[in-house]
Amino acid sequence: MKEEHLKKASQLDANDQLAKFRSEFHIPQKDGKDCIYLCGNSLGLQPKRTSEYVNEELKNWQEKGVEGHFTGNKPWVSYHQNAKASLAKIVGANEHEVVAMNNLTTNLHLAMASFYRPNGKRTKILIEKGAFPSDFYAVHSRIEVSGYDPKTNLIELDSPDKSNYLSTEEIIQKINELGDELALVMFPGVQYYTGQFFDIKKITEAAHSIGAYAGFDLAHAVGNVPLHLHDHQADFAVWCTYKYLNSGPGGVGGLFIHEKHGKNKNMPRLSGWWGHDAEARFKMNNQINPIPTVDGWQLSNVNILSHASHLASLSVFDEAGIENLRAKSLELTNLMEKLVLNSEVLKNQIKILTPSKHEERGAQLSLFLINHGKSIFNYLIEHGCILDWREPNVIRVAPVPLYNTFTDVVNFVSILEEAISNEG
C-alpha cells in the first residue's frame, strides 16, 4: 500500500509548479539524508539566499560604517520601507498599513496601548481559552497596568464541549453577550494548538457592531493563509516572521494598523522618535508630529541584519505567490488527512483536531494521540521527522508548501504507522 501511495505522491510532486522552491531552502539532514521537516509552524527553514542578503549588509557596515545609513542601494535609515510591498500582498493591506519592526509581543503591547483604552463599562478583552502565551501574558498585563483586574476583565472563551474548537457563531454570540462592556477582541488568525483558521472578517464585524476594536495575532497565519486585513477592516494585527515567513529565529516582527487609524494623528500611542516626521528626524527639535501611517507606531531604527534575512525570504514569496502556496497547502493537508483517516493502523488511534473545512484550516494538522504518548513523537524524531509536540498528546504537523513534498507526507504517515504498530 505504501508503494502505491508513494507512486501517486511522486506524480503529484512531478506536476507541482512550486516544487522548484524546495531547492531554495537548506533542508536539515539526518544520517546523510534530508529530514522530513514538518515544523515550519514553529521555525521555518533557512532560504539559501539569506546569507547573500545578510552578507551584503555586513559588507556595507564593513566598508561604509555609519555612512551606510544614507548611502547604497538600501540605505539603513529607510530600510524598513523595503519589506512593505511584499508584506502588503501577503496580509492583504496597503503598503502604508504594514511595517516590519520589533518582535510580536512588543508590537502587541504598542497596539494595545492604542486600542485598549478602558472607559466606563467598556473594560473587557475577549481572547480564546488556551491562547498562545504571547497573547495571554501581554493582554493580562495590559489590563493590569490600565488599573483593572484581569480576573473580571480578561474573558477567555472556551468551547462548550472542551474540544478546543470555536465556531464563528459561538464567538459572535459571546461578543454580543459582552456588548458595551467589551473594549477589544484579541484573537489569533490561526489557533496554534488546533490549527483552526478563524473568520477575521466576521469577528471584526461583530466587534465593531457593539463598539469594540478587533485585533489579531497572525503568528501562525502570516505566510500560511491568504489574508485581507484592509478589506476586512481589522483595526490592527501583529505577527512574527520566523515561522511560515522563514526569516530566522527571533526574526523581526510585523504590525498592521488600518489606515483609518493611521491617519488619525490624535490616536493615543507609545511614541518613539522613528514614528515622527522623518524629514525633521535629525533636526533634533523634538516636535510631536506622528507619521500618518502605521510608521507612526515605530520606536526606533530597525535591526538591519534581522531585516535583511526577512527580505531574503519575502523575495521567495514574491516569486511563489501566496494564492499558489495556499492551493498546494490544501492539497498537502488533504492528502495527509486522507492517509490518516483511511489507515487501518491510525484511524482509531489518531484524532485530528484541525477542522476539515478548507476555510477553517491552514498548513497544519494537529494529531491527538488517543491511546499513546510522547514515545510516538520520539520515535518519529529518531526516524528523521522533525515536528512539534504540545501537551497533552498532540503532534502538530505542518507540511509547508514552499519546501515540503507530497512524498514527505506519505513517508511521514508511514513512519507514524510504524511507531503506533511497534507499541501495539
Last residue of a domain, one of 254, 284, 318: 318
State the total domains in the chain.
2
3-state secondary structure of 395: strand
* Per-residue confidence (pLDDT) for residue 1, from 0 to 100: 64
Considering the domain architecture, whether residues 314 and 329 belong to the same structural domain is answered as: no
pLDDT digits (tens, 9 = 90+) for 124-163: 999 999 999 999 999 999 999 999 999 999 999 999 887 8
* Per-residue confidence (pLDDT) for residue 160, from 0 to 100: 87
The answer to whether residue 42 is domain-embedded is no
Considering the domain architecture, whether residues 309 and 340 belong to the same structural domain is answered as: no
The answer to whether residue 151 is domain-embedded is yes
| Inter-residue contact 227 to 218 (CB < 8 Å) | yes
pLDDT digits (tens, 9 = 90+) for 265-274: 999 999 999 9
The answer to whether residue 39 is domain-embedded is no
pLDDT at 319 over 80: yes
| Main-chain dihedrals φ then ψ at residue 407, nearest 5 degrees | -65, -35
Last residue of a domain, one of 291, 318, 345: 318
- Domain span at residue 191? 53-318
Q: Quick check: bond before 226 cis, omega within 30? A: no
Name the percent of the chain lying above pLDDT 70.
100
Q: How confident is the model at residue 179 (pLDDT cuts 50, 70, 90)?
A: very high
Considering the domain architecture, whether residues 74 and 188 belong to the same structural domain is answered as: yes
Considering the domain architecture, whether residues 291 and 306 belong to the same structural domain is answered as: yes
Considering the domain architecture, whether residues 60 and 25 belong to the same structural domain is answered as: no
**Local structure of residue 44 (DSSP, 8 states):** P
pLDDT digits (tens, 9 = 90+) for 245-287: 999 999 999 999 999 999 999 999 999 999 999 988 888 889 8
Q: How confident is the model at residue 423 (pLDDT cuts 50, 70, 90)?
A: confident
Considering the domain architecture, whether residues 220 and 344 belong to the same structural domain is answered as: no
Angle between helices 406-423 and 322-342 (to 10 degrees): 30
pLDDT digits (tens, 9 = 90+) for 13-42: 999 999 999 999 999 999 999 999 999 999
pLDDT digits (tens, 9 = 90+) for 193-244: 999 999 999 999 999 999 999 999 999 999 999 999 999 999 999 999 999 9
Q: Which one is predicted more confidently, 406 or 372?
A: 406
In which residue are the cell numbers 530566522 written? 248
pLDDT at 296 over 80: yes
Considering the domain architecture, whether residues 66 and 205 belong to the same structural domain is answered as: yes
The answer to whether residue 40 is domain-embedded is no
The answer to whether residue 47 is domain-embedded is no
Query: In this structure, what C-alpha cell is assigned to residue 199?
Result: 473568520
| Main-chain dihedrals φ then ψ at residue 358, nearest 5 degrees | -60, -40
Considering the domain architecture, whether residues 313 and 369 belong to the same structural domain is answered as: no
Query: In this structure, what C-alpha cell is assigned to residue 294?
Result: 502605521
Considering the domain architecture, whether residues 394 and 407 belong to the same structural domain is answered as: yes
* Per-residue confidence (pLDDT) for residue 148, from 0 to 100: 98
The answer to whether residue 163 is domain-embedded is yes
pLDDT at 82 over 90: yes
The CATH number assigned to the domain holding 236 equals: 3.40.640.10
Query: In Å, how far are 7, 10, 26, 401 from 406, measured between CA atoms?
Result: 10, 7, 18, 9
SS (H, E, C) 258-321: CHHHHCCCCCCCCCCHHHECHHHHHHCCCCCCECCCHHHHCCCCCCHHHHHHHHHHHHHHHHHC
Considering the domain architecture, whether residues 151 and 190 belong to the same structural domain is answered as: yes
pLDDT at 303 over 90: yes
The answer to whether residue 208 is domain-embedded is yes
The answer to whether residue 196 is domain-embedded is yes
What is the average pLDDT value for the chain, to the nearest integer? Answer: 96
Name the percent of the chain lying above pLDDT 90.
94
